[in-house]
Amino acid sequence: MIGAGIALLVALALAIQPSRKAVTNRFLAAALACLGLDLLNHLVQVRLANPSFIFLAQIGYLVGFLYGPFFYFYTKGLTEPDFRPTSRLVWHLIPFLCAAAVVADLRTVETIRAVFGSRTDQVFQSAQQLQQWIYGLLIYRVYRKHRKRIANHFSDTNHIDLKWARNLSLAIVILGSLAFLNSASNRTLLPNLYFGASLLTLYIAYFGFTQPKIYAFEEEATALPKKEHGSLAKSSLPQIKLESKAAEIRKLMQTQKPYLEGNLTLAKLARLARIPAHDLSLVINREIGKNFFDFVNEYRVRDAKKRLREKEVNILEVAFDVGFNSKSTFYSAFKRFENCTPLQFRERSLGATGQLEPSPT
């Protein structure tokens, strides 16, 4: 009951909340409303078992086909800067529309009940669970594409990497599996299912309210295509031009040190280098052989190494001074490039007399 109430209240709050993510939030509100109605339906059916509430069973046959697509639309809206609701989204609602057509025709419902008897509910639930597994995988696929996209456009992905969306896809698959096992085991897993759904509701509610708009400051950039760059043959830059641009970008990074800005993005660096963002992305990806995230953070780690050798300074201060916005991101990047932590690197840099070794030329 608590989970259903939370889901419905959060859905209402998201639907009426003014936000730059208003359209995206409404998809999340719709998903949570469906989840809340589904929880309420199961609760009433199990606790009351009253024929007067048979209409709730029909609602249960329907809403279970909706929150998978709505969660998927929400994830797409967050991760794709050019996502807009279109008529193509209706294709995702075909299972729901088919179920609605069946439920609306009482004779069809009676026929199904005559064929499957007490297993009618299980038939609908199995179809819903199969759909939930599919959408769990689709959400994970969107998450993987998103991770690749932001690595090519942002130097700090700490608050926009959507790891929670990956966890959401996993939770949908797990809850779908529990629901399937529950229907096959005479509802013995029902308490665990309710508890899991309630936790999922709280988890989604928290991130739904706190997740920032990912491309809020990148909408002017020309380097945000849905698809990644193709081969060099499709580039307007010849190979010789790519090599010279790569040299220019490396020189700019060494002299002007734009990597010291914690919120450096591909669009900002492109404006500084005075080349189109798409071309800059191509130079970094194809000629230098890195994504933007690794390209910038490698310069930050190099600078951090120099500072750690030169004097005894606080490691966290070094992280912020070279452009990292969090300790975890700094340690993760440092370990990826140096195979050790900043503290281990500093200890290795100490000479036999306890003095720091000079920086290598």
For residue 253, what are its two tokens? 């990074």
Instruction: Report the SS3 class of residue 216.
Output: coil
The residue out of 210, 226, 248 marking a domain boundary is: 210
For residue 204, what are its two tokens? 């989604």
* Total domain count, the chain: 2
Looking at the fold, whether 189 and 296 belong to one and the same domain comes out as no
Tell me the whole-structure pTM to 2 decimals.
0.77
* Helix, strand, coil abundance in the chain, percent, nearest 5: 75, 0, 25
**Does any domain span residue 6?**
yes
**Does any domain span residue 359?**
no
Residue whose tokens read 């928290």: 206
**Does any domain span residue 200?**
yes
Q: What pLDDT, on a 0 to 100 scale, did the predictor assign at position 38?
A: 74
Looking at the fold, whether 282 and 151 belong to one and the same domain comes out as no
Looking at the fold, whether 258 and 117 belong to one and the same domain comes out as no
**Does any domain span residue 313?**
yes
Task: Return the CATH number at 66.
Answer: 1.20.1070
Contact, 292 vs 153, CB < 8 A? yes
* Apex 157 CA angle, 154 and 161, nearest 5: 120
**Does any domain span residue 225?**
no
Looking at the fold, whether 162 and 271 belong to one and the same domain comes out as no
Residue whose tokens read 């998450």: 143
Q: What pLDDT, on a 0 to 100 scale, did the predictor assign at position 33?
A: 85
Looking at the fold, whether 33 and 171 belong to one and the same domain comes out as yes
Looking at the fold, whether 40 and 153 belong to one and the same domain comes out as yes
Per the structure, the complete domain to which residue 316 belongs is given by: 237-349
Name the nearest CA neighbour of 95 among 63, 120, 59. 63
Partner residues linked to 356 by β-bridges = 350
Distance (Å, whole) CA 324 – CA 322: 6
Looking at the fold, whether 160 and 293 belong to one and the same domain comes out as no
Which are the contacts of 335, defined by CB distance < 8 A and separation ≥ 6?
341
Contact, 122 vs 61, CB < 8 A? no
Q: What pLDDT, on a 0 to 100 scale, did the predictor assign at position 261?
A: 94
Contact, 253 vs 299, CB < 8 A? yes
Instruction: Report the SS3 class of residue 62.
Output: helix
The residue out of 191, 210, 229 marking a domain boundary is: 210
**Does any domain span residue 121?**
yes
Distance (Å, whole) CA 321 – CA 304: 8
Looking at the fold, whether 175 and 60 belong to one and the same domain comes out as yes
**Does any domain span residue 125?**
yes
Looking at the fold, whether 252 and 157 belong to one and the same domain comes out as no
Q: What pLDDT, on a 0 to 100 scale, did the predictor assign at position 216?
A: 58
**DSSP one-letter string for 317-357:** HHHHHTT-SSHHHHHHHHHHHHSS-HHHHHHHHB-TTSPBP
Task: Return the CATH number at 254.
Answer: 1.10.10.60
Looking at the fold, whether 69 and 157 belong to one and the same domain comes out as yes
Looking at the fold, whether 183 and 257 belong to one and the same domain comes out as no
- pLDDT by residue, tens only, the chain of 361 residues: 666 777 788 788 777 876 666 778 888 888 888 877 777 776 666 555 555 555 555 676 688 888 889 989 988 888 887 788 888 888 999 988 888 887 777 566 667 666 666 666 677 777 888 888 898 889 999 999 999 989 999 998 888 888 888 887 887 777 777 766 766 666 555 556 666 667 777 777 777 777 777 765 544 444 454 454 444 445 555 666 778 899 999 999 999 999 999 999 999 999 999 988 888 999 999 889 999 999 999 999 999 999 988 767 889 999 999 999 999 999 999 999 999 999 889 888 765 334 444 443 3
Looking at the fold, whether 188 and 252 belong to one and the same domain comes out as no
Q: Which amino acid is at 155?
A: S
**Does any domain span residue 162?**
yes
